[in-house]
Amino acid sequence: MNDERQQKYRRAREVLADAGWLFDDFVNAEMRRVLTSDPDDMTTRELAYNRARVATEVKAGLAGLVEEYEADLQLKERRDHLKESLHARRT
Q: What is the DSSP string of 42-88?
A: HHHHHHHHHHHHHHHHHHHHHHHHHHHHHHHHHHHHHHHHHHHHHHH
Q: In the prediction, which pLDDT does 90 show?
A: 74
Domain of 64 in residue numbering reads as: 3-90
At 31-56, the pLDDT tens digits run 999 999 999 999 999 999 999 999 99
At 11-32, the pLDDT tens digits run 999 999 999 999 999 999 999 9
Structural domain total, the chain: 1
The CB density around residue 68, as the number of other CB atoms within 10 Å, is 13
